[in-house]
Amino acid sequence: MSPARGGAPEGQQGGGADDVDKVAGAERRGRGTWRHAAFHVATTIATPAAYAPLPFALASLGWPLGVCSLVIGTLVTWCSSLAVASLWQWNGDKHTSYRLLAKSIFGPWGYWYVSFFQQVASVGNNIAIQIAAGSSLKAVYKHYYTADDGAMTLQQFILLFGAFELLLSQLPDIHSLRWVNAVCTASTIGFAGTAIGVTIYDGHRIDRKGVDYSLQGSTASKIFRAFNALGTIAFSFGDAMLPEIQSTVREPVRMNMYRGVSTAYTVIIMSYWTLAFSGYWAFGSEVQPYILSSLTVPRWTIVMANLFAVIQITGCFQIYCRPTYAQFEERIQAKNMGCNARLWRLIYTSAYMVVITLISAAMPFFGDFVSVCGAVGFTPLDFVLPAIAFLKAGKLPENPVLRGAVKAICCSVAVLFSIVGALACIGAIRAIAIDIKTYKFFHDM
């Protein structure tokens, strides 16, 4: 069952794929509480793969620009999430997916705009976090198996993680993942607490006089690294699934979603800001793209942090594969092949996992995929589109001064982050081109 099945029927929409979404929405009304919404949103956004690279992003920008970028990214996406949640039933209809919400506001081009960028975000996110999960599993393995002869490779751990995700992919919808995501939210807090504690501990152990906070490399290198860092920050706040999550929430939907989003962002602020600032403080410009790679002692806590990371990534992966699964299901239902629904589900989820696992294993450049996904996938959906959609369909203040201020802010956000997305994409593509020259395919990193 697709994510759209958590909501009520979609009214007055076009035919084809939209009809499938309408029928799906009618099959199950929202049953989730605001707590379930918080679990889903926190799991979707606050994955260790999203905020573990933040200290490296700050190191690429420096203290002033890095702190400003992180704080602005937090506030803009928080407000954007609330704006998207406020558009629930904006025209009297219940829009159970981001695609249908965009179509109701912008017409057919909005549907296909979101469909394209949502797939880019979902697939890119899952490639990046599968690499992160494989790296964490390998780190745990290396803690107990130190011999080089016969050691398992990163690709083998990526394959094992992919096989486990294939099993979870047989669960029908987002609501069926609610307890998985509750565990994942707890793991987010566990990862953040462990990683922050070990980072501060290691930071006090090393010689503080040797920590350098200056930007490294040539002028061109500094510029492209800064572009890349903007993509990393955009990725860290990625949530291209908010309407799908909202469709699983019970009445009053808006208030429950506002409460769930705000609760999730409380967790996000505590984990993101603290880890980003402490990681950059501890290691300076030498911090690694994945903060756990910079940590040294105590070893057992690093193992625990890696295990928390794997558990949390497990749930995040599942939420982000749902838009792709929904596309498959629309075609299956349109062709009346529902009699073998479980078999078809096994076939298309297997095909999806094979493709994602193969790309992850072949090009395990975690930081580069994070930047590309943030620039091309999440920036249009989480920064640009919500501002434009709220301008077109949201309830603007009656006061002329406030109305003008809201319009100015929304337009500024849309323009600014369109530029940021373009610059981040340039930096990410350059980084991938350099890494492909440096490493071979299926490189055991």
pLDDT digits (tens), the chain, 445 positions:
333 333 333 333 444 445 444 434 433 567 888 998 998 888 888 877 778 889 999 999 999 999 999 999 999 999 999 999 999 888 888 888 898 999 999 999 999 989 888 888 888 888 888 988 898 898 888 888 776 655 788 889 999 999 999 998 888 777 777 788 788 888 888 888 888 999 999 988 888 888 888 888 888 888 888 888 888 888 888 787 888 889 888 888 999 999 999 999 998 888 889 999 999 999 998 898 888 888 887 888 888 989 998 998 888 888 888 878 887 877 777 776 656 777 888 888 899 999 999 988 887 766 666 777 777 778 888 899 999 999 988 788 888 999 999 999 999 999 999 998 888 888 878 877 777 777 677 666 6
* Short-list 262, 393, 327, 317, CA closest to 4: 327
Residue 222 CB coordination number (10 Å): 16
- Tokens representing 348 are 């298309």
Q: In Å, what is the CA distance from 395 to each residue of 80, 91, 389, 391? A: 14, 11, 11, 8
pLDDT at 357: 92
Predicted local confidence at residue 8, as pLDDT:
37
Cα-to-chain-centroid distance, residue 393? 26
Angle between helices 178-205 and 253-283 in degrees, nearest 10: 20
Q: What is the CA radius of gyration of the chain?
A: 21
Residue partners of 249: CB distance under 8 A and separation at least 6:
6, 30, 32, 33, 34, 36, 37, 256, 257, 260
* Structure confidence at residue 338 (pLDDT): 57
Q: What is the predicted pLDDT for the residue at 5?
A: 35
Helix (H, G, I), strand (E, B) or coil at 215: coil
Interatomic CA distance for residues 88 and 98, integer angstroms: 10
Residue with tokens 């078809």: 344
Residue 4's pLDDT is what?
A: 36
Global pTM value: 0.79
Q: How many angstroms separate the CA atoms of 340 and 289, rounded?
A: 44
Q: Rounded CA gap, 369 and 45, in Å?
A: 16
Rounded distance, CA 169 to CA 315, Å?
A: 10
Of 33, 34, 78, nearest in space to 259 by CA: 34
Separation of alpha carbons 439 and 445, rounded Å = 9
Look at residue 16 in the predicted model and tell me its pLDDT. 45
Task: Give SS3 for 32.
Answer: strand
Could you tell me the maximum CA-CA distance found in the chain, to the nearest angstrom?
72
Determine phi and psi for 395, rounding to 5 degrees.
-90, 100
Structure tokens at 1: 């069952």
Neighbour-count burial for 331-363, b at 16+ CB within 10 Å, e otherwise: ebbeeeeeeeeeebbeebbeebbeebbbbbbeb
Token representation of residue 385: 């589109």
d(CA 110, CA 107): 6
Helix ranges (H only) for 145-218 are: 154-168, 178-205
Positive/negative CA dihedral, 255, 259, 260, 261: positive
Under 8 Å CB-to-CB from 358, ≥6 apart: which residues? none
